């Protein structure tokens, strides 16, 4: 088993540098634990409620009841395979680009702050709309932050839209931005924010956090000396943000579909345990 894990890590190490790979593993591990625990205790209401309390960000629990760990753990949890696959696809293809440009530790904090921003915006909207019981989970806030940074620094990299059409990354970013705007408008039309299965508002929060961290670079410079438990380690390399910015105009091709999320049944809100995904 140890040899298998070592070989697997060696395979992924060829494509993903340290922090990107570790965040990839954490997402997969946390999600698998959530899925397995949910399946085992599906018929036990008390245990099922405890699992949701651990793995899903619910504003009334996180803010009013002090379950602040939900802000962090929910970032790495996913609702289903396609939710996990889409977010890990973004991390796999674009995470290494941003990490090499930004630096290892700074990239780690970049992802965490982007994910937390999505959760914070969700909580604000939940209380504002009088719906603090609505939960949130997913890495997409951080995923949108990765796409934002990659677009700013590598706008001409070629990606395969829907695995078929080669387009520059900046074009893909525009397409995703249009879908993001339409998703937010649809949520507002349905319920006045938080109306759909997908938390487009959390996605937007990830984009805005990425822009803020790139514009105000001193924030990540202050954090880079702080280790992230189980993620960074002493001696991790630190590269100045923006090194070589604007100089890379490669023509690499990446197979890339839409990194957003999916629709849901119309009766979603009749489920007392419903939640949104980032």
Q: What percentage of the chain reaches a pLDDT higher than 90?
A: 55
pLDDT tier for residue 230 given thresholds of 50, 70 and 90: low
**Better-scored residue on pLDDT, 253 or 30:** 30
pLDDT band for position 54 (50/70/90)? very high
* pLDDT given for residue 193 in this prediction: 58
Measure the CA–CA gap between 200 and 118, rounded to whole angstroms: 9
Kindly state the greatest CA–CA separation across the chain. 56
pLDDT of res. 119:
95
Q: How far is CA 69 from CA 51, 91, 110, in A?
A: 13, 23, 18
Q: Which residue has the higher pLDDT, 226 or 259?
A: 226
pLDDT value of residue 32: 97
Q: What is the mean pLDDT of the chain?
A: 81
Question: What confidence tens digit (pLDDT) does each residue in 60-101 have?
Answer: 999 999 999 999 999 999 999 999 999 999 999 999 999 999
**Residue scoring higher pLDDT (238 or 205):** 205
227 vs 23, 104, 195, 212, CA distance in Å? 14, 11, 37, 21
pLDDT tens profile 157-190 = 988 877 678 889 999 999 999 999 988 888 777 6
* Per-residue confidence band for 131, with pLDDT thresholds at 50, 70 and 90: confident
Q: Give the residue among 155, 261, 148 at the shortest CA–CA distance from 204.
A: 148
Q: Where are the alpha helices (DSSP H) in the chain?
A: 2-13, 18-40, 45-55, 59, 69-73, 81-102, 104-128, 140-153, 169-191, 200-215, 218-223
Question: If 0-12 CB within 10 Å is exposed, 13-18 middle and 19+ buried, where does residue 74 land?
Answer: buried
Distance, CA of 103 to CA of 241 (rounded, Å): 7
CA distance 56 to 82: 18
Domains of the chain: 2-277 (1.20.1540.10)
Residue 238 has pLDDT above 50, yes or no: no
Q: What is the pTM of this model?
A: 0.81
pLDDT in tens, 5-43: 777 777 677 778 788 999 999 999 999 999 999 999 988
φ/ψ (deg, to 5) at 43? -90, -5
Return d(Cα 159, Cα 183) in angstroms, integer: 23
Quick one: which of 155, 184, 187, 194 has its CA closest to 171?
Answer: 155
């Amino acid at each position: 088993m140890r040899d298998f894990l070592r070989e697997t890590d060696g395979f992924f190490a060829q494509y993903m540098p340290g922090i990107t790979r570790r965040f990839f593993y954490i997402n997969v591990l946390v999600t698998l634990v959530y899925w397995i625990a949910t399946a085992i205790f599906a018929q036990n209401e008390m245990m099922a409620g405890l699992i949701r309390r651990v793995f899903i960000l619910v504003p009334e629990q996180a803010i009013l009841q002090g379950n602040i760990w939900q802000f962090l753990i929910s970032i790495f949890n996913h609702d289903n395979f396609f939710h996990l696959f889409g977010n890990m696809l973004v991390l796999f293809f674009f995470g290494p680009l941003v990490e090499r440009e930004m630096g290892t530790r700074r990239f780690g904090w970049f992802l965490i702050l982007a994910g937390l921003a999505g959760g914070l915006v969700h909580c604000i909207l939940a209380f504002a709309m009088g719906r603090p019981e609505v939960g949130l989970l997913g890495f997409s806030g951080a995923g949108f932050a990765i796409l934002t940074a990659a677009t700013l620094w590598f706008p001409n990299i070629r990606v395969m839209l829907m695995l078929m059409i080669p387009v520059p990354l900046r074009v893909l970013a525009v397409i995703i931005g249009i879908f993001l705007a339409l998703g937010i408008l649809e949520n507002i039309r349905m319920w006045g924010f938080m109306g759909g299965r997908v938390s487009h508002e959390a996605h937007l929060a990830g984009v805005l956090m990425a822009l803020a961290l790139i514009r105000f670079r001193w924030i990540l410079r202050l954090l880079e000396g702080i280790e992230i438990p189980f993620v960074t380690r002493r001696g991790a390399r630190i590269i100045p943000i923006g090194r070589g910015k604007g100089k890379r105009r490669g023509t690499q091709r990446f197979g890339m579909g839409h990194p957003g999320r999916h629709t849901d049944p119309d009766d979603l809100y009749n489920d007392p345990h419903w939640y949104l995904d980032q």
